[in-house]
Amino acid sequence: SLPKETQNIIEEVSNKWVDVHGKVWDTNDSEGRNYTLSLGNKIIPLSKEENARWKKAVSPIIDSYIKTTKEKGLPGQKAVTATENLIKKYSKRYK
Domain boundaries, the chain: 1-43, 45-95
For the four alpha carbons of 50, 53, 58 and 62, in that order, the dihedral sign comes to positive
- Cα-Cα-Cα-Cα dihedral sign, residues 19, 75, 77, 54: positive
Q: Which of 85, 51, 75, 80 is nearest to 63 (CA)?
A: 80
pLDDT in tens, the chain (95 residues): 899 999 999 999 988 888 899 899 999 999 999 999 999 999 998 899 999 999 999 999 999 999 999 999 999 999 999 999 998 888 877 66
